[in-house]
Amino acid sequence: MQIRTSLLAIFIGVATFSLQASIYKCTVNGVETFSQVPCAEDAQPISVIPPTKISSAPVNNSELIEQCVAYLKRGGDFKDPDSIKIEGHYFDWLQDDSGARRVLQIKVNAKNSYGAYAGGEYRPCFLNYNGTKLSDHQRLIFK
């Protein structure tokens, strides 16, 4: 009985500690720092709000592909944008300095300057944060 009581006390202590965990923001040697414990005398507790989940609503893949192709026709470096053929696609995550981004990778084949199809290559189309349409900032990402 004594062992069970001790284990229960430890479990409650660990559970309470994890529920009360905080994040602190400090300036250490002129650098903004974040820590689980106060890292300097000027430590300020901050609250972190997790991002919204990617939409669980069904996404129309063909609509996303159409949006991506329209974007590639306008902004791509194809000799004949109207000859674009889609040979495949998959969803991926890419990361830059601003964080991870959901990406629709489309395998595109288009005619070259000789009028022949040169073989498909994957091109990224960045999605908005809930994954339902192309990002409004497509042209600014990964430049």
What's the token pair of residue 78?
Answer: 């194809």
125 vs 136 pLDDT, higher one: 125
pTM of the model: 0.54
pLDDT of residue 58: 60
> 123 pairs with which residues across the strands?
106
In whole angstroms, give the CA distance from residue 39 to residue 18. Answer: 19
59 vs 107 pLDDT, higher one: 107
In whole angstroms, give the CA distance from residue 89 to residue 59. Answer: 14
3-state helix, strand, coil split of the chain in percent (to 5) is 25, 35, 40
pLDDT of residue 74: 84
pLDDT tens-digit profile of 4-21? 444 445 555 544 444 456
Identify the three-state secondary structure at position 35: strand
